[in-house]
Structure formats: C-alpha cells, structure tokens
Amino acid sequence: MNIREFLVYIGEQRGLDIATVQRHLVSIKAFFNWACEEGFVVYPPMSGVRVGGLIKKVVRGLSEDEVRKLLEAVKAGSSMVEVRNCAIVYILLDCGLRISELMNLKVSDVNLERGVLRVRGKGYKERLVRMGFSTQKALWKYMLMRESAADWLWVNGEGNKHHKSFVQHWLKVFGKRLGIRLHAHLLRHTFAISFLRNGGNVFALQAALGHSSLEMTRRYCQALGFEDVFKAHEIASPVDNVLKEKR
C-alpha cells in the first residue's frame, strides 16, 4: 500500500476526519524529510501529496433493501450465538458505534430500562447512546441467554472478552453469504446516513457518533440526494407551515 492509499484508507475506512489525516501526513512527511537529510532516500517522496485532494469520495452506506435483507437474516436464528450476532448487528446499525466501542462495552454500561448504552470513544471520552426499541429487545434477549458472570458484554464460552477481529471476520463471512459487502464501519456509515435521512440533524449526529468536530459529520450530508431534500421540504416548507393554519 503506498502513502496516498494509506491516507485514503484511514480517511475512508477508519472514518478519521481531515484534520486527523493531516496530522498523519505531517508525521510521515517529517520522517521522510529526516530520511532524506540522513541519506536514506534520494528525495522526499511526500512533496506532491496533499490532504485536500485525498478524501473526495462520498460516504456510502447500505441500501434500504440491503439493510432489510441483513436484519431479516440475523434475526432468523435462535441459538445463543445467533442471538448474540443479531444483537451485535442491531447495535452497530442502530447506534453507529465504532467496532472498538462495541467490543469495549460492559454489562454495567447497559441500561435496558432507559434503552441507553454508555460508550467509551476515542480518548476514553464517554457518551450516552440511545438504542431503538428493536435493538433493546435484541440485546435483552442476548443478555437473558448469556451465562457468563464476566462484566464484558461480548464474551466467548470461557468467559473471555471477544476481540474485534472476531466480529470483523464474522461480518465479512456473513456478508458474503448474503451477497453484501459488510464491515463494521459500513454499518456506522449506514447509521449516519439513515439518521439524517429520517430527520435527524447534523449536530445530534455529531454527538451520537462521538465526533470531536463537524468535519466528518458533514461528509454524510453529501450522500443525501434530491429525494431526501424533497421529503424534508414537504415537512419544513416555510410558506406551507405559515399558511397551513389558514387552510
């Protein structure tokens, strides 16, 4: 993987904002400048690489049909493993958690009475995230079947915490079976786009995703099209809302 591909990867797949990608670029440039000064390389290979032109792709999520297909497939099983996997997909898709945030959840972080998760994000910053009713039910069902006394929410048969690679691998395999390209960050993208499409605003989305700035959050707005604006305008039309009282 070359440097440009690496920077695109951490921006697109890892979901880092442009400011963070910029910091990575500065560090890599400093390293290669040092290598050039010490005679390890002939010239700095980073001179033509700029962050501004790296992250251009519009963030895409799953289509509505793909989401429906995925949800139908994961809720079909009844074993503890299948119920657990269903809860994982529901949380990723309904709450937009990063894979690391998902795997660091503890039983003590779950408040099923309120339908809220306490999530530890980047820099150990905590935030509260709401679950939809279907997700609450899926997690409640898993926790009823879960036999471990460990505080980690996602554990194997020996009571040890699952590693994030376990979920990443399972999603990849399950996605192939359904004919859907599937990974945890794609579900996070899908959550963000659906949140905006269903009437959520960018400031609430920023808080839900745990973004430190609006830079990354704004990128999800680019995925919205005319039909989304059309539906929003039906609700928010300034003239219609003023005159509707006279109808």
Q: Which residues carry out catalysis? A: 98, 122, 185, 188, 211, 220
Residues 91, 95, 101, 102, Cα dihedral to 10°: 0
CA distance 12 to 82: 30
CA distance 20 to 3: 15
Give the distance between the most distant pair of CA atoms in the chain: 79
Show Cβ contacts of residue 101 under 8 Å, excluding neighbours closer than 6 positions: 119, 120, 121, 210
Sheet with 126-130: strands ordered across: 110-111, 116-120, 126-130
Show Cβ contacts of residue 103 under 8 Å, excluding neighbours closer than 6 positions: 154, 161, 162, 163, 164, 167
Say if residues 136 and 87 touch (Cβ distance below 8 Å): no
Q: Residue 223 carries which side chain, given as an amino acid letter?
A: A
- Which contiguous run of DSSP H or E holds residue 177? helix 164-178
Three-class SS of residue 59? coil
Say if residues 136 and 144 touch (Cβ distance below 8 Å): no
